[in-house]
Structure 1
């Protein structure tokens, strides 16, 4: 290897996915590279240009990713690519012309990798394929951090004709409350409570900004750590230095800063520096307010709504929002969080409306505290589409010496369950074909009854019990007394400790779906019915991943009501030996879920069945790579839970 190739080898060895390649493959790649110099302000490619024959990797310098704002004839900054970042991959693999500009911000050296070499690497190495597929889907964590707020998450109709919101001046709060760095946290909390504010600026003797503390800092750094507030000084927990802006900041500028600095507040000063007079404070909420149709506005409207009709219209708007996010290739983790928040807000409002209606009927308020549980995909925060309902009601045990009649309590919550599920149906959430809903008395119970039910499933893991486990073990509290759900989850963990065989049976159940490829590596498709020759992406690709994550999460006692992605992310912390597999599983699940959602909008259905014939070669290869990953997860389950011993 000559000196130039060796230098390239050392460089690529630092960055994903190239560091996943075998040495001989990486050495071969280095021989195919070209190294090109670009002057400042020179374009590597422009919007509308046909795809180049190369994929670019930044070696030195910085490249600005921009988009032309036609109405103002301005170039809007979308992202900054630095050392190790990849350019031009999406247009190469997804086909079509470039939709953004790549303009050199600081004179740069770029590696040019021939497109055919990139495609060959993807076909030959599954890890490279999964990484690139995830990158195209905007899921690479390093890129997501920088672009999470730049993909116009707050404006679902982001296109060249309506970017005016990005150029609006953001108006913050003019009357700013400040505090000395030598004050203690208790004094700060009291001041925030008295003034009814969520943040405080910390200033020096010249009243210049030093830092900021927010109510989130108090929760995370004081309350969660069980620290006495009066024993800690403000300067010990403040975020410093505070990010300052001038008096006329544009929304687009603040969005970029929020993404780059991972912050939610800005201090407005006379000259935009931290050495001048404070003029105000700007929060994320102020920036959101400048945008048009956005998640925060939708959720606020849901909270203010008083009818099922208006809630349905708002959920329809959310579908448009989701479709726009998918078209813009917005980070899927962000999309899942937004859609979950919208769905939860709808459930919250519907329950409130139902309780009000029960009051007007003379049934009064809930007789005991309760918790509404979302189950299945909604319980895992993965219900991107309005699929069928899976829910339940968990209510407080009625004391034996109580004047409240237990049968009347059950009657009240059953009526509540019926009203809520009916309203959700009117909004567009289909009823569960298996009747796993809060309107069914089997799934509307007090805490003690739920504990007995889980005891039955865990201590007697027959097939029906395992089927229910796949649904009910993904419960998540959405409304009401969350402590009831915590008590139930803790009870489940204690039961699993007593009956270790349960997880073995659950693991075995998770392994029942065979790899969906034939002997000749063709996709196994449906053989009859409406979707003959279509591939079931839910049952054959998504479910094996979520099933494996569920078993492993309960094995490690991971106490979160999380998605499959969140479970795998937590598993990385608990099982370092298999961290790479769990990391790949996160990317794989994101790719599959996005594919299903896009398919759903294209065909106006649940998106479950994919026409394999319409996938290109690389898309098919990505699916096959995911199946290979699923096999690795099955091996983990097989070894860890000794499923071979099940008779």
Structure 2
């Protein structure tokens, strides 16, 4: 062995996964390693470049991994591995890799990864662990949803792979031409040979090309002549990362899924390399890219429908509901932004003034997981009196285009007309300030209801400074009218815990939803209203999401930590439960037939009502409301 290879061997053996390899395996790798010298600030690879068939180990110095905005994602020091996920993902690099000091890097080929590392059980297990430990999902308090989305593709690697639940099979005596006919009829690229429903072999399109089309075997032969056997099996819980590593390790494109992950268990599915590609193309990050390339509301409708499938998959795999909520909200916001861009091109001229589009209600709180109706508003900058009518007319027409395209996508028009194409909800900054001030200074029941909707607004498009001015005006009005929070507090107590004296669920008495339970009005909104009120009392402007509001309250009021943590748990459960019900019944999930629930679901719902009771008791004490009720 030459001196350079010896030095590489001596270095790598001190770091995982190389220390898990046999001496011969690591020696073979060391002989083929490329040594790369990088000066400070020199790039190794950049965003958009095709991924090369190598991953890297830092020998000396440090390599920084940066986003396009030059934010540092990770710093790789001596012994650290990077570029591996990109190698498995293929395509283009998503990050810049740049030396942040003079550095030496070892470059290791995909061939070595397949031949020595993934073939070693311990080293392969380490790679799986590294996928998990390298996932970084920050719970940021800013509104930069792209930050969240960039991590969504990382989650993809740890998700359970979405395999085909109906594998096409045949018995070992089947002739090759018969198997090929079945594959053609079923439009599949593989067929599993089974015995008593246990997989014993597999044939793929590639086998038909290399074994039959070349004349090596006759189409009249039995499938046993060309099948790959034994098959590689995994349990139903296989993750995307496990699947990719297994396919690399065994140089195959299909995995058999069985009940317990062994060959002696019943076949339940088939997972192909194509399935992995489709899964990667249907994560939130990929959908966002498609939205930005879209050319019509009809295309956006298809993408939003695929978001429902993404939502279903995330729920099935127990990804945290608050993370799912941020991703779906980001998709909804990006769809809205694209539609606004379309709508501006339909107008006969550019906007005559700066404006901002606001999502209100559940979308404003980043909690609109299902395709519910629209709630939105528009604010435009103050203009001269003589320009006002033409300016407002322009924005009303623009809003009408936007609202109609959102309807095409699947967001129904609001029955109460709380949309920006309504003159009431399309106003200048000064008009909006006056409107909020009127609601705050005259807090009758109607105005309090509007406050609970409009206080949860989120900037989606346009001039963010207009929204900041509006927020400052609102809090100034609240500061000048302390009694408003007391009225808002009393309003927040209008929906007590939804159980009767006999501990039965309170259901609708009449109408379309008679005898059904309104999970939104009776369970979720009391927690939403309480969080909003408590945050307003602390003069906090920038946090609208209900879960994030309670998390902030934990920081602000450690003495009430247990109550707020209970509210977080309850709201997550309610949000999950409503979303699952909506997906199951293809509706908003709001009204629930209690007869369809099992005892466990009923008990879980009742537990959330205790959180409503606790936080409402806190509000009664805080705002001295007991004597007013």
Aligned partner of 1:516 among 475, 478, 498: 498
SS at match of 1:398: coil
Q: How does 1:207-222 map to 2 (within 5 A)?
A: 208-212=60-64, 214=66
Q: How many angstroms apart in 2 are the aligned matches of 1:472 and 1:175?
A: 60
Alignment partner, residue 548 of structure 2: 566
Cα deviation digits, residues 522-566 of structure 1 (max 9, x gap): 111112223222111111001101010110111112232431111
1:244 correspondence with 2:108: no
| Contact 1:209/1:242, CA 8 A, preserved across alignment | no
Q: How many angstroms apart in 2 are the aligned matches of 1:350 and 1:634?
A: 40
Alignment partner, residue 376 of structure 2: 391
Alignment partner, residue 459 of structure 1: 441
The structure-2 alpha-carbon separation of the partners of 1:323 and 1:459, relative to structure 1 and needing over 3 Å to count, comes to same
1:317 correspondence with 2:306: yes
Cα deviation digits, residues 150-202 of structure 1 (max 9, x gap): xxxxxxxxxxxxxxxxxxxxxxxx9999664xxxxxxx7xx99xx8899xxxx
Task: Kindly name which structure, 1 or 2, has the bigger radius of gyration based on alpha carbons.
Answer: 2
| Contact 2:152/2:284, CA 8 A, preserved across alignment | no
Alignment partner, residue 420 of structure 2: 438
Alignment partner, residue 497 of structure 1: 479
Cα displacement (A) at 1:604: 1.6
Aligned partner of 2:457 among 475, 490, 505: 475
Q: How many angstroms apart in 1 are the aligned matches of 2:37 and 2:524?
A: 50
Alignment partner, residue 616 of structure 1: 598
Alignment partner, residue 307 of structure 1: 296
User: Unaligned 5+ residue runs, structure 2?
Assistant: 1-33, 50-57, 90-123, 138-149, 157-275
Q: How many angstroms apart in 2 are the aligned matches of 1:392 and 1:325?
A: 30
Cα displacement (A) at 1:411: 0.8
SS at match of 1:405: helix
Cα deviation digits, residues 195-236 of structure 1 (max 9, x gap): 8899xxxxxxx9734252635997699xxxxxxxxxxxxxxx
1:371 correspondence with 2:223: no
Cα displacement (A) at 1:444: 0.5
Q: How many angstroms apart in 2 are the aligned matches of 1:250 and 1:326?
A: 25
Q: How many angstroms apart in 1 are the aligned matches of 2:542 and 2:522?
A: 26
SS at match of 1:347: helix
| Contact 1:375/1:472, CA 8 A, preserved across alignment | yes
| Contact 1:505/1:643, CA 8 A, preserved across alignment | no
Cα deviation digits, residues 552-600 of structure 1 (max 9, x gap): 1111122324311111111111111111111111111111111111111
Q: How many angstroms apart in 2 are the aligned matches of 1:410 and 1:299?
A: 31
Number of residue pairs aligned between Structure 1 and Structure 2: 417
Q: How does 1:522-601 map to 2 (within 5 A)?
A: 522-601=504-583
| Contact 2:60/2:77, CA 8 A, preserved across alignment | no
1:336 correspondence with 2:325: yes
Q: How many angstroms apart in 2 are the aligned matches of 1:175 and 1:438?
A: 60
The structure-2 alpha-carbon separation of the partners of 1:614 and 1:497, relative to structure 1 and needing over 3 Å to count, comes to same
Q: How many angstroms apart in 2 are the aligned matches of 1:369 and 1:622?
A: 48
Q: How many angstroms apart in 1 are the aligned matches of 2:374 and 2:325?
A: 17
Q: How many angstroms apart in 2 are the aligned matches of 1:627 and 1:247?
A: 47
Cα deviation digits, residues 62-105 of structure 1 (max 9, x gap): xxxxxxxxxxxxxxxxxxxxxxxxxxxxxxxxxxxxxxxxxxxx
Q: How many angstroms apart in 2 are the aligned matches of 1:460 and 1:175?
A: 73
The structure-2 alpha-carbon separation of the partners of 1:448 and 1:247, relative to structure 1 and needing over 3 Å to count, comes to closer
Alignment partner, residue 345 of structure 1: 334
SS at match of 1:488: helix
- What is the TM-score with the length of structure 2 in the denominator? 0.61
Cα displacement (A) at 1:640: 0.9
Alignment partner, residue 133 of structure 2: 260
Q: How many angstroms apart in 2 are the aligned matches of 1:447 and 1:622?
A: 44
| Contact 1:370/1:394, CA 8 A, preserved across alignment | yes
The structure-2 alpha-carbon separation of the partners of 1:463 and 1:239, relative to structure 1 and needing over 3 Å to count, comes to farther
The structure-2 alpha-carbon separation of the partners of 1:638 and 1:419, relative to structure 1 and needing over 3 Å to count, comes to same
Q: How many angstroms apart in 2 are the aligned matches of 1:549 and 1:241?
A: 47
Cα displacement (A) at 1:261: 3.7
Cα deviation digits, residues 488-544 of structure 1 (max 9, x gap): 112211211111111111111010112211111111111222322211111100110
Cα displacement (A) at 1:242: 8.2
SS at match of 1:371: strand
Q: How does 1:96-135 map to 2 (within 5 A)?
A: none
Q: How many angstroms apart in 2 are the aligned matches of 1:255 and 1:423?
A: 44
The structure-2 alpha-carbon separation of the partners of 1:613 and 1:499, relative to structure 1 and needing over 3 Å to count, comes to same
SS at match of 1:579: helix
Cα displacement (A) at 1:260: 1.8
1:640 correspondence with 2:622: yes
Aligned partner of 2:588 among 606, 615, 638: 606
Q: How many angstroms apart in 2 are the aligned matches of 1:260 and 1:420?
A: 42
SS at match of 1:606: coil
Q: How does 1:170-181 map to 2 (within 5 A)?
A: 180=40
- What is the TM-score with the length of structure 1 in the denominator? 0.60
Q: How many angstroms apart in 1 are the aligned matches of 2:284 and 2:483?
A: 44
Q: Which one has more relative contact order, counting CA pairs under 8 Å at least 6 apart?
A: 1
- After TM superposition, the structure 1 stretch with the greater mean CA deviation from structure 2, 486-495 or 583-592, is 486-495
RMSD: 3.2
Alignment partner, residue 343 of structure 2: 354
Q: How many angstroms apart in 2 are the aligned matches of 1:368 and 1:242?
A: 55
Cα displacement (A) at 1:645: 5.2
Q: How many angstroms apart in 2 are the aligned matches of 1:562 and 1:635?
A: 22
